[in-house]
Structure 1
């Protein structure tokens, strides 16, 4: 950012959980439906990491997934669990 901080996406903005079979069967779960991001700040003693969880209208996102025939995504969006 212009003030010297770095924004890092820790991975769950938009889909807090999923399952996949490639390259090996696995699941990723954040455990909550919140969108997440991290901010790194360089301090005199090194880097500081602040991880943030942000609420959004995950019910609406879940409904949209169901409307598009993705009941699996609907559950993942509401719960953060696959």
Structure 2
């Protein structure tokens, strides 16, 4: 029996930011259920010279953006997490 192998894209982000935000290695995207936002990590930008962490709402509006640079050799941003400064709250 042959199965249909299909996927459905339910959300995407980054293409509209252009080639500057393309990362061919390391990065992450996380859905944050409390806010409905997404936390996207572009881990290897500008030939490994910087990373960007961007929080966007469901419509793609930027809520927060962080630029990381001046990494020691091979020390890029692999994954991003959002934590509260106060205990007991993850988001």
Please say whether Structure 1 and Structure 2 have the same fold, judged by a TM-score greater than 0.5: no
The answer to which structure, 1 or 2, has the higher relative contact order (CA under 8 A, 6+ apart) is 1
Q: Specify which structure has the higher proportion of helix.
A: 1
TM-score by length of 2: 0.31
TM-score by length of 1: 0.33
